[in-house]
Amino acid sequence: ILTDWKHLKDFNSFIGKKVCDFVDNNDIHGISTGRYELGDDCYVNVDEYETRENFNFEAHREYADVQIMVEGDETVFVAPLKNGVEINPYSRENDVAFYSCKSVGYEIVNLVSGKALVLFPYDMHAPCNSNKKRINRKLVFKIPVKHIDTIIIGGKYNEKLL
């Protein structure tokens, strides 16, 4: 799901509350990089990094990612997990496995300042890509899948996810 980060509050009350509370109550442009605990097993990584050309995909099992680009832009390749060939086995400690994409079956997402990208465990993704090196600042919220049993859009739509 790619959207303006301000729309997150509209589609899942739990995600919206965790993400929007943090963004609304912190200087996201000036806060120090690092990990911030949000309660309920949720946390956010405030990252600054140089973009690169990276075609290794990653996927998570225990957490959904909500990535908000604060400054900069990048290309994120996203594909169904079923299109992946595992190249580094799953690490429970880091909740990540790495994959190559066995087909050209991936989407290209341009993540720019102010946008949010929501990635679920069935979405493998290759973030931080650009053919021009630049420094990006991004928030990566980690939301346990146990808290994401429904999506609510505008309070009207409710669909079981997992």
pLDDT at site 149: 60
Rounded to a whole number of angstroms, the distance between the first and last alpha carbons of the chain is 16
Contacts of 37 (CB under 8 A, 6+ apart): 43
pLDDT at site 11: 67
State whether residue 156 is helix, strand or coil: coil
Q: Residue 42 pLDDT > 90, yes or no?
A: yes
Q: Residue 158 pLDDT > 90, yes or no?
A: no
CA dist 123 to 24, 112, 155, Å?
Answer: 27, 19, 25
Beta carbons of 144 and 65 less than 8 angstroms apart: no
State whether residue 81 is helix, strand or coil: helix
Nearest to 1 by CA among 136, 129, 135, 159: 159
pLDDT in tens, 97-118: 999 987 777 999 999 999 999 9
- As a whole number, mean pLDDT of residues 106-131 equals 94
Structure confidence at residue 32 as a pLDDT band (50, 70, 90): very high
Residue-wise DSSP of 37-60 = EEETTEEEEEEEEE-B----EEE-
Q: Residue 27 pLDDT > 90, yes or no?
A: yes
Angle at CA of residue 105, ends 99 and 107, nearest 5°: 90
Structure confidence at residue 145 as a pLDDT band (50, 70, 90): confident
Q: Residue 153 pLDDT > 60, yes or no?
A: no
- As a whole number, mean pLDDT of residues 18-38 equals 95
The rounded distance, in Å, linking the Cα atoms of 71 and 136 is: 6
Q: Per the confidence metrics, is the pTM higher than 0.75?
A: yes
